[in-house]
Structure 1
Amino acid sequence: MPSSELERIAAIEDPFVLLRAATERLNAAQQEVAELARLRRRVIQDLHAQGMSYAQIAEAAGLTRGRIHQIRHTGPAPEGAFLGTGTLTIATPLKQDAIKARPVVAMEDVTAGKRLEDLARGFGLSVELEHVPLGGDIDINRPNLIVICGPRLSPVMAQMYEYDPVLEWVKADDGPWTIHDSRTGTTYRSGEDSDPATHVDYAYLGRLARPDGKGNVLVFTGIHPQGTLGVVSLIVSEINTLWGQVGEDRFSTVVGVEYDPATGEPVKAELASPLYQHEGH
């Protein structure tokens, strides 16, 4: 913390204002320390992957080999940045109760958000939870935002999905939503909407540009709730691979999910389409 900032806070006369200011600054400083530790660990991993030994990295950086080894194995793992940095906001949609006409949250969306929150906290990230309101009007021009919502519940998200240069949400002639790959011509249709029905769903996973052009938003959703749970299962098990392939850049892919019909829990989740990297960052 710059001494001027410390002095500014220390000079606050109201003890409650001082307490709040000191707490907020400390929280920000702790997040900054965590991100610096993550960056440091990432640089060491990158240099080692490029062929440098830890001894060479230590010598070039003016550190001991033991210190490099310690940094490599402590602090937040770099792949956590696949989700974001600092404080994440995870938004799940409110839906209209068909009988009582009141806002409700699908249990699968709650579960998906909680599992993602647990993963993020394991990487040293802070998490705030919120809902996409009825009508789908959500501010997506915010940093470190993850939105679990499809085009049906939110015109804002429907417009955002249109930024994808390869994958698109398309309503089939008989009504159900599908995901269409314009590059391969493949259309992914949920097993629940097929005849005969199968216990397979498909989901969209991507990082898309914010409308204001000042960053990206991580977005995902299944055609049905089972697909949403499958995406989280894939991220939890494969975040290191996903991070290695796309880092913090824009991308999109289709996730195929086999699930237990009794519980809706994913049994298998894997990429069903190529992982498309988009131009820009």
Structure 2
Amino acid sequence: MPPSDIERIAAIDDPYLLLRAATERLNAAQQEVTELARLRRRVIQELHAQGMSYAQIAQAAGLTRGRIHQIRHTGPAPEGAFLGTGTITLATPLKREATNARPVVAMEDVAAAKRLEDLARGFGLSMELEHVPLGGEIDLNRPNLIVICGPKLSPVMGALYETDPVLEWVKDGAWTLRDTRTGTTYRSGSDSDPVRPIDYAYLGRLPRPDGKGNVLVFTGIHPQGTLGVVQLITTEIATLWGQAGDGRFSTVVGVEYDPQTGEPVTAELTSPLYRHEDI
């Protein structure tokens, strides 16, 4: 019988390597516990939604009704899996500063990343931040990846968006979003005449280039739209999870924002939420 992880770690002679290995295994174990608790709570909610009583669920699972109620109200909420599981990597783009060409991160992207990180932490998830470099090269073939970036700054992301079967980015003087199923074109209010404090954003989960998973992606036509998506996810994540789960989907988010601050006032779906498995 192969040794357990604990036995393998305990057999390490170097105390510093042992300390490192024990810490890494403990972190992994804590993530496993969090995800198992989330999965358990999710199954109970799904069974109850199908019409089973908690007493019936308890009897079928060999648990007490009190234990089922306890599980239902403890542990991370299932909808956190909309963002991912375990440790999430969030990538935001670097842009070239207009005055001296230095690489910078837009303030709106910094704010979006911080708000999304706070949301993830509330679901028992951890988040690592990185940047899409100038030129737009990014490895999309990684699990639990969220990318805030549009086709303008990254050909890699542009190719990913082209896999969407319904929504497309169109450069028509200014960038717009087009719903190929309805023929509707979504143009930002700042690119319209008269100018209006309205922006539109893409939100979707698309296939990794290697076909071994998905990538959650979103971005506004302008930065105000990006902040609007974060507001929508923060306030409606349970609804989004109920509609899309962890499958592939895409939708257009309409954002009305304060013209003075750029902060979203309202954010809502302005196109259908398209589940790609249904198309």
TM-score by length of 1: 0.97
Secondary structure in structure 2 of the residue aligned to 1:178: strand
Q: What RMSD over aligned residues (CA atoms) do the two structures have, in Å? A: 0.9
How far does residue 5 in structure 1 lie from its aligned partner after superposition? 1.3
Deviations 1:224-247 (A, max 9, x none): 000000000000000000000110
Q: Secondary structure at the match of 1:279?
A: helix
Given the alignment, which residue of 176, 188, 191 partners 2:189? 191
Instruction: Give the structure 2 partner of residue 21 of structure 1.
Output: 21
SS of the equivalent of 2:9 reads: helix
Name 2:227's counterpart in structure 1: 229
SS at match of 2:135: coil
Residues of 1 paired with 2:227 and 2:245: CA distance?
22
**Cα distance, 1:141 vs. partner?**
0.3
State the shift of 1:4 in Å: 1.8
Task: Output aligned runs, 1:161-240, within 5 Å.
Answer: 161-172=161-172, 175-240=173-238
Structure 2: gaps (5+ residues): none
- Superposition pairs for residues 86-101 of structure 1, below 5 Å? 86-101=86-101
The one-letter amino acid paired with 1:71 is I
What is aligned with 1:276?
274
Distance 1:19 1:42 in 2: 35
Q: Match for 1:114: what amino acid?
A: K
Residues in 1 aligned to 2:202 and 2:267: alpha-carbon distance in whole angstroms: 12
SS at match of 1:37: helix
Residues 242-274 of structure 1 deviation map (CA, whole Å, 9 limit, x = unaligned): 000110000000000000001000000000101
Alpha-carbon distance in 2 for matches of 1:274, 1:51: 28
Residue matched to 1:126: 126
Amino acid at match of 1:145: L
Quote the offset at 1:3 in angstroms.
Answer: 5.5
Letter paired with 1:192: S
Residue of structure 1 in register with 2:70 after alignment: 70
Match of 1:4 in 2: 4
Q: Matches of 2:98 and 2:236 in 1, distance apart?
A: 36
Aligned to 1:160: 160
What are structure 1's unaligned runs of at least 5 residues? none
Residue 58 of structure 1 deviates from its aligned partner by 0.6
Aligned structure 1 segments of 4 or more residues deviating by more than 6 angstroms: none
Deviations 1:8-44 (A, max 9, x none): 1001011111111000000000000100000000000
